[in-house]
Amino acid sequence: MHTPQEAGGHGAGHDAHHHGVVVPAPPGFVPHVVAHHFDTAEAEFSADKLAMWLFLATEVLLFGGLFAAYFYYHGVYPETFKVGGHQLNWRLGALNTLILLFSSYTMAMGVRAAQLSQKALMQKMLGITVLCGLGFLVVKYFEYAAKVSHGLVPARWFSDHDHVMAGVENGHLFFNFYWTMTAIHGLHVLIGMLLILWVMKGGAKGRFYGGYYLPVDLVGLYWHLVDLIWIFLFPLLYLVP
Amino acid sequence: MSAHSAHAEAHGHAPGAPVLVTHHHVSTVAILTKVFLTLVILTIITVGVSQVDFGSANMVIAMLVAAVKAALVMTFFMHLRYDTAINNIFILSSFAFLALLFVFTLTDFSTRKAVNPIHAKRAPIAEPDTHYLWKTPRTKEHKHE
């Protein structure tokens, strides 16, 4: 049990750590103060990074469930999926793949710049990454608009005005997967962009340098996972094997 | 000796010295660029292979190429190669658990023939009455339940 005396004694004994360890920063940067419940910056780094990987593991399982369902329905209705895939513009899908791969590259370069306290380069790389994310969503918007105009939308709203799916069973099934998977993925792109902008806000204030680049690193991991999911979505939706 | 202390300071080991360069692993621009170019080449391969009909092998090839791309992203862009063992275990275990889901979901397709030759042909799938499922309001039977 915690008596007031014990609690007071505990606080007094760790007075030096009450405001957290400071990681000395080069000129022009704001020194990072380690969260008070960590003894060292390294303890904070490894704990937060482990938590991020655990979160990414749940993301793998979130999309993994969708992929398992995709493979099952693909097995039941191979023709539906093949014809459905042909309705998508694989050139736009390939373009978006290249955009995301490039954005992952610039993200990795941004993390590298943060590790080396190269503030201007980091901001530039993160900025390019956000613009790539925006480009991805713009391409996606035009694709979505084309699908809506043809009535190739999920579930009960599936109307298929031009009867492109008339020759196969349950044509809406492919578009259930297309919309659900790309919408959840697109939401991740949007969230990733907002997170990068948030990191850039801190970056502009000089919060990230060699001694503390944790937020840049963790947001980078998130962004790479979004890229990783798309690496599987592209062939499964646009080039349906 | 002085070289050593300069090295230590640059890596933030000297107490009180500003930490300009992290003591964690820093990827070279060359390796990141090579990984990106490899990913682009693999994307071209993915598109190219999809234009040729290899039958059911198309799916296997597409997924293998995607797996190689994913491994490259995780190993180099996500730094897993230089990360701790526990972080590697965390994320790789998620793929192991996913494999369980995939294997037991897809076992039916791969073994139906072998287990029961009589049902070798795909079992008939009931045609769902989409109108009933989605547009008809709940019937009285449901209210009685």
For residue A51, the model assigns a pLDDT of 97
Band of residue B111 on the pLDDT scale cut at 50, 70, 90: confident
Residue A188 vs residue B7, higher pLDDT: A188
For residue B123, the model assigns a pLDDT of 54
- Per-window interface: A 11-50 vs B, CB < 8 A: 23-27, 29, 45-46, 49-50
Mean per-residue pLDDT for A123-132? 98
Nearest-neighbour CA in chain B from A4: distance (Å): 36
**Mean confidence (pLDDT) of chain A:** 91
Q: Which of A102, A109, A115 faces B24 most closely, judged by CB atoms?
A: A115
The pairing of beta strand A32-33 with beta strand A22-23: antiparallel
Q: Please state which of the ranges A85-89, A157-161, A211-215, B121-125 shows the lowest mean pLDDT.
A: B121-125
Band of residue A19 on the pLDDT scale cut at 50, 70, 90: confident
Best A129, A231, A232, A240 member to test B by mutation, with max B CBs in 10 Å, is: A231
Band of residue A13 on the pLDDT scale cut at 50, 70, 90: very low
- Chain B residue numbers with beta carbons less than 8 Å from the beta carbon of A241 are 50, 58-59, 61-62
HEC sequence for chain B: CHHHHHHHHHCCCCCCCCCCCCCCCCCCHHHHHHHHHHHHHHHHHHHHHHCCCCCCHHHHHHHHHHHHHHHHHHHHHCCHHHCCHHHHHHHHHHHHHHHHHHHHHHHHHHHHHHHCHHHCCCCCCCCCCHHHHHCCCCCHHHHHC
Band of residue B7 on the pLDDT scale cut at 50, 70, 90: very low
Cα A240 to Cα B38: distance, rounded to the nearest angstrom: 23
Nearest-neighbour CA in chain B from A169: distance (Å): 9
The yes-or-no verdict on residue B12 having pLDDT over 50 is: no
For residue A72, the model assigns a pLDDT of 92
Nearest-neighbour CA in chain B from A5: distance (Å): 34
The yes-or-no verdict on residue B143 having pLDDT over 90 is: no
Cα B88 to Cα B64: distance, rounded to the nearest angstrom: 21
Band of residue B120 on the pLDDT scale cut at 50, 70, 90: low
- A201 with A64: CB under 8 angstroms? no
- Chain B residue numbers with beta carbons less than 8 Å from the beta carbon of A55 are none
Band of residue B15 on the pLDDT scale cut at 50, 70, 90: low
Mean per-residue pLDDT for B112-120? 60
For residue A156, the model assigns a pLDDT of 83
- A20 with A35: CB under 8 angstroms? yes
Residue B8 vs residue A193, higher pLDDT: A193
For residue A46, the model assigns a pLDDT of 96
For residue B114, the model assigns a pLDDT of 65
Q: Please state which of the ranges A16-20, A61-65, A209-213 shows the lowest mean pLDDT.
A: A16-20
* Nearest C-alpha neighbor of A122 from the set A53, A29, A222, A188: A29
Band of residue B118 on the pLDDT scale cut at 50, 70, 90: low
Mean per-residue pLDDT for B97-126? 72
Cα A174 to Cα A158: distance, rounded to the nearest angstrom: 11
- Chain A residue numbers with beta carbons less than 8 Å from the beta carbon of B27 are 108, 112
Nearest-neighbour CA in chain A from B46: distance (Å): 7
**Is some CB atom of chain B closer than 8 A to the CB atom of A55?**
no
Nearest-neighbour CA in chain A from B140: distance (Å): 22
**Is some CB atom of chain B closer than 8 A to the CB atom of A129?**
no
Chain B nearest-CA residue for A221: B78
For residue B1, the model assigns a pLDDT of 35
Band of residue B34 on the pLDDT scale cut at 50, 70, 90: very high
**What phi and psi values does residue A23 have, to the nearest 5 degrees?**
-95, 110
Residue A159 vs residue B6, higher pLDDT: A159
**Domains defined along chain A, listed by start:** 58-238 (1.20.120.80)
For residue B94, the model assigns a pLDDT of 96
Domain map of chain B by residue range? 28-83, 85-125
For residue B55, the model assigns a pLDDT of 85
Determine whether the interchain pair B19/A24 forms a contact, defined as Cβ–Cβ distance below 8 Å. Answer: yes
The yes-or-no verdict on residue A241 having pLDDT over 90 is: no
**Is some CB atom of chain B closer than 8 A to the CB atom of A177?**
no
Chain B nearest-CA residue for A91: B47
Chains A–B, number of C-beta pairs less than 8 Å apart: 166
User: For the segment A38-54, what is each residue's pLDDT rounded down to a tens digit?
Assistant: 999 999 999 999 999 99
For residue A209, the model assigns a pLDDT of 96
Angle, helices A119-149/A214-238, rounded to nearest 10 degrees:
30
- Chain A residue numbers with beta carbons less than 8 Å from the beta carbon of B75 are none
Mean per-residue pLDDT for A1-22? 51
Mean per-residue pLDDT for B77-86? 96
For residue B90, the model assigns a pLDDT of 96
Residues whose CB falls within 8 Å of the CB of residue A149, separated by 6 or more in sequence, listed in order: none
Q: Which of A50, A210, A220 faces B21 most closely, judged by CB atoms?
A: A210
**Is some CB atom of chain B closer than 8 A to the CB atom of A89?**
no
The yes-or-no verdict on residue A134 having pLDDT over 90 is: yes
